Every structure is written in C-alpha cells, then in structure tokens.
Copies of this chain bind each other. A is one copy, B any other.
C-alpha cells in the first residue's frame, strides 16, 4: 500500500547508495550504552562487558512473507523488527541492537522506503533497540528485508529450547490465533476490493485480529514478569510458525513428549466470533496460525502456584516422557497426535 501515490517521487538512483543510507538512517538515535559504534563504519562495535551477546536474523520477501496490497509499509517495517526482537525475547534476553538490510526494485520510490523506515524507527524506539548497521541495494523484483537482532543477557538467565523436563508445565503468554484470522479478514477484503474498488470495508468487528496481523508486539515484558514471579523457564520459544509446530520443536529439542489440552488454549472472544463467520475450527487456527509472537515456555511443576491465575499466562499442558509422544487432549477427552501444521515458506 504505497500512500500518496500522486506526489512527485524522488528516484533512488538520484540519491545513490550512500546518499540513500544517510537519508534513511538520519532519524536513528543511539540509546544503548553498549553501542560504541553504529552506522557509518564497516561494522558496528558493541560493548557487552560480562554480558553475553544474543544474535538472530530474518529474511522477509515480498509475495512470500508479506503482501503490500494490505500491509502498509510502515506496519511492515514495524513488524519486521518485532519478529526479530521476539526471537531475542524467546532466549529470555534483552534486545539491544538490530541491523536492517533492504533490497528494492525500481518500482519503489524513496517515499515508500521512508514509510518502511518510519515503521522500523518506531519499533526501534518502542523496543529500545539501536539500529547499528545494514545495507541498502536494489532487487530484480519486489521488496526484501533482512534484519539481524542482537540482545544481551547474563549467562545464567538465558533459556534454550532444550531444557524442558518430564512433568514440566507448558505455558503460553497472551492469546493465540488472532494474527492468522486477521490475515484471513484482510485477504477477504482484498478480494472484495478487486471485485468492487468502491466498496468501503467495515472492519469494526475485526480490529483486534487485524491489529495482531498488521502490528503485532514482541513480548519483551515477559522476562521481567517472570523475574518478579521468581520463575525461570526451563525451555522457551516464540510462536512465529503456529503453536503446534513450536510445541513440537520444544519437545524434540528437549527430548520429551507433551499433552496439550484443547480447552486450555487461550483465544480472544473476537477470534471465536470470526472463526464461526469463516466456518473455521478455532483450535485448528490456534494450532496452525502462526505470527502471534507470543512466548511458549515450560516451567517446573512446583512453580504452578506462582503463575496460577496470572492474566499474562495460561498453562496449556504438561510435558511427558518422549516415549509417550505428543498429544492434543480434545474437549471430548479424545487423545490425538499433535502434528506440525505451521506455515512453510518453501511450500509450493
């Protein structure tokens, strides 16, 4: 969605690569003490002292990961940062810096890139991460965004995927499935628009779902919340590909099985209404949707009392021996095998 289509455009080639980088990065500020050197040299320099550096990277491709027909560029920039920050949060680390590389085809005017970087700048402020480098170049087709996020943590605070033990409780933050249904709503509106461009969409019943799709937030609050509760998760992962797929990752890497209870999966009331409207099964959407950027983690059973009733967290199951396998216990108390049906960027 390129706004202001009729304004005069500045072509990227006029600016040149260095001019463009200078132009796009002039709003970035440095907030982290550990950022000793940021954009403007061959590389960035970070001072972690006794802290450990945590690094994660993502490559987002137009037509594969996003559709500019309903994803405004500012939101896209914001979401691209969120997705990476979320990976750092999933290590129980604190996001501190990001690098941002962008390739665009000539169809993008400068103003489009500015919108994108507005979203990136906003997210970097909200999540208090410094943009410490990057690369800007042209592409043969479409927009490509590559972000690397760096975080810091004390070694003893870092949580991996492989620490879950039998009898640990499986916990999820927030609610699940809304981002996927937001996408379904937007896809439908796109098709309506193609048939009748004068149709004004009424999206009041879908605001939460659409916001979860277009402007998701990373759970950088969870680390502190858990510290206050004096809970250290035994394993943790973020939910980018769908709950079932992420649970299976945790189980595989921790060498345990799990029982997930259908009735426990937290969903928003709006999701329930819209699933009914779309004739989709709520549990399927929650298990396979993806892009929720909530955190999924395991805690020791003795920590149950600390987390019980906390509105931020829901206990959705528990870990069992690997030999018992991974199962969903349905509302009708049927035990069915849990399978990964998460989103696959490489499927045809």
Instruction: Please name all residues of chain B whose beta carbon is closer than 8 Å to the beta carbon of A15 when the two chains form the complex.
Output: 346
A255 in the interface, Cβ–Cβ < 8 Å? no
Could you tell me if A57 and B160 are in contact, using CB atoms closer than 8 angstroms?
Answer: no
A331 at the interface (CB under 8 A from B): no
Once the chains bind, are B140 and A91 in contact (CB under 8 Å)?
no
- Considering only residues 308-348 of chain A, those with a C-beta below 8 Å from chain B are 344-348
Please, which residues of chain B bring their CB within 8 A of the CB of A148?
55, 57, 99, 148
Does B43 contact A56, Cβ atoms closer than 8 Å?
yes
| Number of copies of chain A assembled together | 2
Cβ contact within 8 Å between A17 and B345: yes
Q: Which residues of B contact A128 (CB under 8 A)?
A: none
- Do A46 and B55 touch across chains, with their CB atoms under 8 A apart? yes
Number of contact residues on A: which range applies?
35 or more
Chain B CB within 8 A of A59 CB: yes
How far is A146 from B153 in the complex, measured between Cα atoms in Å? Answer: 25
Task: Convert A149-182 into 0s and 1s, putting 1 for each residue whose CB lies closer than 8 angstroms to a CB of B.
Answer: 1110101001011100000000000000000000
Query: Of A60-68, A222-230, A258-266, which binds chain B?
Result: A60-68
Q: Looking across the interface, which residue of chain B has its beta carbon closest to that of A15?
A: B346
Find out whether the CB atom of B103 lies under 8 angstroms from the CB atom of A45: no
A16 CB contact (under 8 Å) in B36, B40, B144, B347: B347
Known: A55-B43, A160-B37. A61 touches B137 (CB 8 A): yes
Q: Indicate whether A184 reaches chain B with its CB closer than 8 angstroms.
A: no
| 4 tightest A-B CB contacts, nearest first | A43-B56, A146-B146, A59-B101, A42-B90
Binding site for B on A (CB under 8 A): 11-13, 15-17, 20, 36-37, 40-50, 52-59, 61-65, 87-88, 90-91, 93, 97, 99, 101-103, 106, 132-142, 144, 146, 148-151, 153, 155, 158, 160-162, 236-238, 253, 344-348
